[in-house]
Amino acid sequence: MAFPTPNATFEEDGSPALDAARAAWAAVANVIVAYEPVRMLVNASDKAAARSVLDPRVHLIDVELDDAWLRDSGPTFVHDLGGSDVASRAVAWRFNGWGAQSWAAWGHDRHLGTRVARSAGVEVDRSTLTQEGGGFHVDGEGTVLLTETVQLDPDRNPGWSRTEVETEIHQRLGTTTAIWLPRGLTADYDEFGTRGHVDVVATFTRPGTVVVHTQPDPGHPDHEPMREVAEILRTAVDARGRRLEVVELPSPTVADYDGRPVDHSYVNHYLGNNVVVGCAFDDPRDATAAAVLADVYPGRDVVLVDARDIFRFGGGVHCITQQQPAVPSPG
């Protein structure tokens, strides 16, 4: 994870917005650290503030930061199966502030893929593809979910064809089959949006099964697009030749903030050791989402954390976390 630092979205030191962001990020870290180690990247000038809100078990690492969405700016950890022993590696994608958006800064964050990999003690592979970790999901058996408005965004990858994108992703992730979704949630195309990240739309819970965000309100702008996404997933075939089982995860009942649609989504959760850390919105559907997550992730505790402030700044629980899987034992 990365600790919120003063910038265009969080505002300046001492602002209520920055304090709220830090409290929200800390709430997530403090849940996860009860189940597995947590390392928090932090600007040196923010270290005292971080220590004041974080569980003392959270390990702080001094790194220069522009922002705090480590799912997107950090590396993707993979398992290298090429030798006699399985080893961890990290893929550092090109990062340019979600398509060089006017409010974004990425002078430091564009180096985080390499810096995090080195801190973790693993080899790093630098990709020429511009994308973020929230822009794809994999099933672990060769299938990857993508969205056309992210990987094919001309402000991210000008001139890249769909085939070229797939080739690069398959080479880096070891996948063989890409399922393309046409777009993300409506609010994700607002000023501080990502232009269609899949991690608020759909994710694999295990090979062959995917949960998908649905919008029950027919008057909401996401109702029809998410119905189309669910249908694409139901008819899709994964890398093993299976039709996907689709589990619907309805959106919270509160669909707008100050008259504008929000992209609140229960799909955007973190899967950890013996735990699922999900998003809560003080909404009647929080309990329904918790029940669905408990069903699709049997044997794990389901802990919901208030994610309204995280979404207010542009993302959710999945967006602010990045897992480093353990290396599997030989055999």
Q: What are the phi and psi torsion angles at 71 (to 5°)?
A: -55, -35
Among 327, 324, 328, residue whose Cα is nearest residue 113: 324
Q: Is the pLDDT of residue 298 over 90?
A: yes
Rg (CA), the chain: 19
Can you give the pTM of this predicted structure?
Answer: 0.96
pLDDT given at position 83: 64
pLDDT number for residue 331: 55
Indicate the pLDDT class of residue 254, thresholds 50, 70 and 90.
confident
Residue pLDDT, tens place only, 199-209: 999 999 999 99
Closest-CA residue to 103 (of 186, 16, 11, 191): 191
Res 107 pLDDT > 80: yes
Calpha distance 281→264 (Å, rounded): 8
Indicate the domain borders of the chain. 16-320
Tens digits of per-residue pLDDT, 274-295? 999 999 999 999 999 999 999 9
What local confidence, expressed as pLDDT, does residue 64 receive? 97
Using 50, 70 and 90 to split pLDDT, how confident is the model at 330? Answer: low
Q: Identify the weakest region by mean pLDDT among 53-67, 69-83, 142-156.
A: 69-83
Predicted pLDDT of residue 201: 98
**319 noted as active-site residue:** yes
Tell me which of 319, 320, 321, 324 is the catalytic residue.
Answer: 319
Q: How far apart are CA 157 and CA 99, in angstroms?
A: 8
Distance of CA 116 to the CA centre of its chain: 16
Give the model's pLDDT for residue 321. 98
Give the span between the Cα atoms of 270 and 179, in whole angstroms.
Answer: 22
Say how far apart CA 297 and CA 144 lie, in whole Å.
20
Mean pLDDT of the chain: 95
User: Cα separation of 320 and 10, whole Å?
Assistant: 14
Q: What percent of the chain has pLDDT over 70?
A: 98
Encode pLDDT of 169-199 as tens digits: 999 999 999 999 999 999 999 988 999 999 9
The fold for domain 16-320 equals L-arginine/glycine Amidinotransferase; Chain A (3.75.10)
Q: Which of 199, 176, 197, 202 is CA-nearest to residue 296?
A: 202
The total of other beta-carbon atoms located within 10 Å of residue 275's CB is 18
Q: Is the pLDDT of residue 248 over 60?
A: yes
Q: pLDDT band for 328, please (50, 70, 90 cuts).
A: confident
